[in-house]
Every structure is written in C-alpha cells, then in structure tokens.
Amino acid sequence: MLAVWRVTHLLWAEDGPLDALARLRAAAGQGAMGRLLDCFYCLSLWVALPGAALLADGWGQAPWAWLGLSGGACLLERATAKEIAS
C-alpha cells in the first residue's frame, strides 16, 4: 500500500528529478492520460493493478487486493494531504 501511495503521489504531484514528471504531466495535456494524471484516486487504481496481480493468490483475491491497495493509498493521501485532493 505504501508503494502504491508513493508511486501515485510521485506521478500526480511531484516534479521529479530535472522536472521530468512535471514535463510528463504537461505533455499528457488534456487528453485521457492528462486527466488520469490529474486525479490521485483514478491514478491510484492503475498504479495498484500490477501490485495486486503480484500479491494475489488467484483470480478470486485479485480484485480485493486491487481495491484494497488503491483504497489504502487514497486513505493515506487524505491523511497526509494539506487539502483534500479531488
């Protein structure tokens, strides 16, 4: 869950080394990818997906792991954010 929060927060809010992530967000523009990078909650779903696939012990557990990892990252973001993210 911490890894999902960290990667999501990095892509969503941080500039990164040499402003690489800020440039990535600017290049994404207003299309689907740009809108995805503008929403922490949406982005956390996609970041959590590979982690859930690795952690789950089968297809029955995968959706719960996916939602749990994303949900945990969202709760952590709400707990640490200065403002509520949208």
Residue 86 lies in a domain: no
Residue 49 lies in a domain: yes
Residue 82: what pLDDT? 85
Q: Which residue range forms the structural domain that includes residue 64?
A: 2-80
Structural domain count of the chain: 1
Confidence of residue 49 (pLDDT cuts 50, 70, 90): very high
Residue with the two structure tokens 């800020």:
22
**Secondary structure of the chain in the HEC alphabet?**
CHHHHHHHHHHHHCCCHHHHHHHHHHHHCCCHHHHHHHCHHHHHHHHHHHHHHHHCCCCCCHHHHHHHHHHHHHHHHHHHCCCCCC
pTM over 0.95: no
Residue 67 lies in a domain: yes
